[in-house]
Chain A
Amino acid sequence: MLKKMKSRSFLVMMAFLLALMTACSGKGSDQASGDNNASAKDGNKIELTFWNIWTDPSPQIEASKKQVEAFMKEHPNIVIKQQNIPHDQYKVKVKTQAAGKQLPDLIQVWPGAELKPLVDGKLIQPIDDMLSHWSDLLPEEKLGDYRMNGKQYALPGSITPTSLVYYDKDILKNVGYDEFPNTYEEFKKLIAKLNDKKIIPIALGNKAQWILQSSYISTIGDRLTGDQFLSSVLDSGDKKFTDEKFIQAVKVIKELADLKAFNEDFNSIDNVQHRDLFVLGEAAMMIDGAWSLGPLLKDAPDKNVGIAVFPKVEGGEGDPAAVSAVSGTGIALNSELKGEKLKAAQEFFEYFYSKEYFTELLKANVLVPANIEPPAGISPLLKEVSKLVSHKLVPVYDATLPTNVTDILNTGLQEVTLGTMSPEELAEKLQKAVDKQK
Chain B
Amino acid sequence: MHILSRNKWPIFIGLAPALVIYLLFAIVPIIISFYYSVMDWDGFTDMKFVGLENFREALTDPIFWSSLKNNLLVVAASVFGQIPIALFFALLLNRKLKGGKIFRTLGFMPVVISTVIISLVWGMMYNSRRGLFNKLLEAVGLENLAQNWLGDPKWAMISVCITMVWQFVGLYLIIFLAALQNIPQEIYEAAEIDGASEMKKTRYITLPMMRNSIIVAVILCISGSLRTFDLIYVMTSGGPGHSTEVLAMYMFDQTFSSTRYGYGSALSLFIFFFSLLLVYVSTLVLKRKET
The finding on whether chains A and B are genuine partners in a shared complex, rather than unrelated, reads: yes
Among listed A6-14, A30-38, A243-251, A412-420, interface-contacting one: A412-420
Question: A411 to B46, alpha carbons, bound, how many Å?
Answer: 29
Residues of A within 8 A of B149 (CB): 268
Q: Given A411-B241, A411-B242, A414-B239, are A404 and B258 also a contact pair (CB < 8 Å)?
A: yes
Residues of B within 8 A of A403 (CB): 257-259
Nearest B residue (CB) for A116? B44
- A194-210: which residues lie under 8 A (CB-CB) from chain B? 207-209
**CB-based contact A268/B127 at 8 Å:** yes
Residues of A within 8 A of B110 (CB): none
Q: A268-B126, A268-B151, A268-B236 are in contact. List 5 more A-B contacts (CB 8 A).
A: A117-B45, A123-B44, A268-B123, A418-B153, A420-B153
Residues of B within 8 A of A99 (CB): 43-44
Q: Given A121-B44, A414-B239, are A264 and B257 also a contact pair (CB < 8 Å)?
A: no
- B144-161: which residues lie under 8 A (CB-CB) from chain A? 148-153
Partner of A415, one of B42, B45, B129, B241: B241
Partner of A118, one of B44, B153, B240: B44
9 closest A-B pairs by beta carbon, nearest first, are: A117-B44, A404-B258, A268-B150, A415-B241, A267-B151, A267-B240, A121-B44, A268-B151, A265-B128
Question: A232 to B149, alpha carbons, bound, how many Å?
Answer: 41
Residues of B within 8 A of A415 (CB): 240-242
Over the window 254-290 of chain A, the binary record of Cβ atoms lying under 8 Å from chain B Cβ atoms (1 yes, 0 no) is 0000000001111111000000000000000000000
Question: A421 to B240, alpha carbons, bound, how many Å?
Answer: 12
Residues of B within 8 A of A420 (CB): 153, 241, 243
Is B49 an interface residue when CB atoms closer than 8 A count as contact? no
A206 to B: closest C-beta gap in Å? 8
Is A183 an interface residue when CB atoms closer than 8 A count as contact? no
Residues of B within 8 A of A266 (CB): 151
Residues of A within 8 A of B259 (CB): 95, 117, 403-404
B24 to A: closest C-beta gap in Å? 17
Nearest A residue (CB) for B260? A404
Question: A96 to B259, alpha carbons, bound, how many Å?
Answer: 11
13 A-B residue pairings within 8 Å (CB atoms): A117-B43, A118-B44, A264-B129, A265-B127, A265-B148, A265-B150, A265-B151, A266-B151, A268-B150, A268-B236, A411-B241, A415-B242, A420-B243
Total A-B Cβ pairs within 8 A? 83
Over the window 236-263 of chain B, the binary record of Cβ atoms lying under 8 Å from chain A Cβ atoms (1 yes, 0 no) is 1111111100000000011011111000
**CB-based contact A265/B241 at 8 Å:** no
Is A407 an interface residue when CB atoms closer than 8 A count as contact? yes
Nearest A residue (CB) for B263? A404
Partner of A407, one of B43, B153, B240, B253: B253
Question: A265 to B133, alpha carbons, bound, how many Å?
Answer: 14
Q: Among the interface residues A98, A121, A207, A265, which one has the most CB atoms of the partner chain B within 10 A?
A: A265
Residues of B within 8 A of A264 (CB): 128-129, 148, 151
Question: A106 to B151, alpha carbons, bound, how many Å?
Answer: 43
Is A92 an interface residue when CB atoms closer than 8 A count as contact? yes
Residues of A within 8 A of B42 (CB): 117
B12 to A: closest C-beta gap in Å? 21
- B223-280: which residues lie under 8 A (CB-CB) from chain A? 236-243, 253-254, 256-260
Q: Given A264-B148, A265-B129, A403-B259, are A209 and B239 also a contact pair (CB < 8 Å)?
A: yes
Number of interface residues of B (CB under 8 A): 31
Is A120 an interface residue when CB atoms closer than 8 A count as contact? yes
Q: Given A267-B150, A268-B126, A269-B127, are A414 and B45 also a contact pair (CB < 8 Å)?
A: no
B101 to A: closest C-beta gap in Å? 36
Residues of A within 8 A of B254 (CB): 404
- A66-99: which residues lie under 8 A (CB-CB) from chain B? 92, 95-96, 98-99
**CB-based contact A207/B44 at 8 Å:** no
Nearest B residue (CB) for A117? B44
Q: Given A96-B43, A264-B148, A268-B148, are A411 and B239 also a contact pair (CB < 8 Å)?
A: yes
B49 to A: closest C-beta gap in Å? 17
**CB-based contact A414/B44 at 8 Å:** no
Q: Among the interface residues A99, A263, A268, A404, which one has the most CB atoms of the partner chain B within 10 A?
A: A268
Nearest B residue (CB) for A92? B256
**CB-based contact B239/A120 at 8 Å:** no
Nearest A residue (CB) for B156? A268
Residues of B within 8 A of A121 (CB): 44-46
Residues of B within 8 A of A120 (CB): 44-45
Q: Given A266-B151, A268-B126, are A207 and B237 also a contact pair (CB < 8 Å)?
A: yes
Residues of A within 8 A of B258 (CB): 403-404, 407
B124 to A: closest C-beta gap in Å? 9
Residues of A within 8 A of B243 (CB): 420
B288 to A: closest C-beta gap in Å? 41
Nearest B residue (CB) for A273? B127
A399 to B: closest C-beta gap in Å? 15
Question: A434 to B236, alpha carbons, bound, how many Å?
Answer: 27
Residues of B within 8 A of A263 (CB): 129
